[in-house]
Amino acid sequence: MPQVDIKIGTQEKSFQCDEGENLLYEATTRSIMIPFNCTSGRCGTCRVRILEGRENLSEMGDREALRLGDEQIEKGFRLACQLAVYGDVQVEVPQPKLY
């Protein structure tokens, strides 16, 4: 079973899930709060940064690539609602900027 490590601010949470499961769904069912609105890749609210294990995630689709843009993709960002987990991964949930 893949190991998922999620960093949210100063907290770190970990869980195991079945191979091929959706990252956002699996985190949410364990009360790990990744912000989200639409679950379809349209809003971009569930943006996370992949720290390790990019090769263990599903390929990026067109909708996700359009939502993120080249700069965010190069920095390692993905949309949690669009990710299937196939192996160990470390993820960071960016903190919202306060203005």
The mean pLDDT value of the chain amounts to 96
Single out the residue of 25, 52, 47 nearest to residue 97, CA to CA. 47
CA distance 43 to 56: 24
| Residue 99, domain member (yes or no) | no
Structural domains counted in the chain: 1
For the chain, the residue count is 99
Q: What is the CATH number of the domain that holds 69?
A: 3.10.20.30
Q: How many CB atoms lie within 10 A of CB 61?
A: 12
| Residue 98, domain member (yes or no) | no
* Tens-digit pLDDT profile for residues 42-72: 999 999 999 999 999 999 999 999 999 999 9
Query: Given a cut of 80, is residue 97 above it in pLDDT?
Result: no
Ordered alpha helix ranges (H), the chain = 23-29, 62-74
Give me the residue label for tokens 């956002």.
24
| Residue 40, domain member (yes or no) | yes
Question: Residue 64's domain spans which residues?
Answer: 3-93
Confidence (pTM): 0.93
| Residue 54, domain member (yes or no) | yes
